[in-house]
Structure 1
């Protein structure tokens, strides 16, 4: 009976890996190329369509994880301090990094502020549901947790949302910036992985990542 359950989980894991490749491959490239490299007239900046697209991606990944193991989505009361600490840290860090642009963006209309805060949050949440959720959980069915975490981090760094910008900077000869960004992505990935391991819940790194992204999207795109 136990072998049958493990076999079913491994089959589902393979389906999830294919879903990750689909969402972070053709779907992400088509729907969400790196917004830092786009002109303001690009359809990426149309609201509320962008918000609805990111919401759809989050709902799809939430449903997939719910079918796999509801425990991954359950936030326990004992992890309240972990949520508050990581969320506050993410809020302060990204507010500091984006302080100048954030001040300008806060002069935007209320609807613009709400749309881009929500969009950024959903982008961050979606990435955690995909990487620390679908991908890491699937890989852990076949590899050790450490190897699964390393493979997940590698995939996270080369994701279209990151790698397109890295390639653009490299093409301009900005090697130092490329190395700095890779270091930041790797450190962030391991931090989110630590939150996931500590809580056995993908929602906690999702919230922390979502808050950081919300500040960034508001500062840069509003």
Structure 2
């Protein structure tokens, strides 16, 4: 019985912290950079970080430094704007809609969240290619990995599909979480509560599987040379 109570507490705590974590540490995460160049503004999750460019080797001119600083500031302004918008929609629209079981409001909030993620990514993509325009071909050779426009377009298709499915799962998890809360208030049977807890565990497992598949799909877009750099694969 004690083990059961402990399990329920762990899941129960996870229910009401996962949404906060999602809004704060998923793609809309605000990471204010003091670096002159943000090597990986796109933030695709390959399962391994893209190596940083050594800015000192670029020998940037004063004009380049000024332009790059302005681009970085614009990037950060956009990240702050859309990250805050995402958190506000999540906390002020989605969560109340789920609590009221208002399907129309849930659908509306979900689309607003996905559109916010899309706008955020537009800001990041714009920075990525505008930053490259400031640099010379010789300077760009110092970047460990650079993606083409075609690659980024494919990454975006994969990301959008993943984000939509992930959001559906997070909403489903939130719904089950509130049901568990209600059952506990009603002193429901252990069997009823366990049924809901099992659904939450299944959702979490599906999210883990989806993340693996997402990373695999992203990696398939990489060239052989890019995979060698990112994963230290032998030639």
TM-score by length of 1: 0.29
Q: Which protein has the bigger helix share?
A: 1
Greater RCO structure (CA 8 Å; 6+ sep):
1
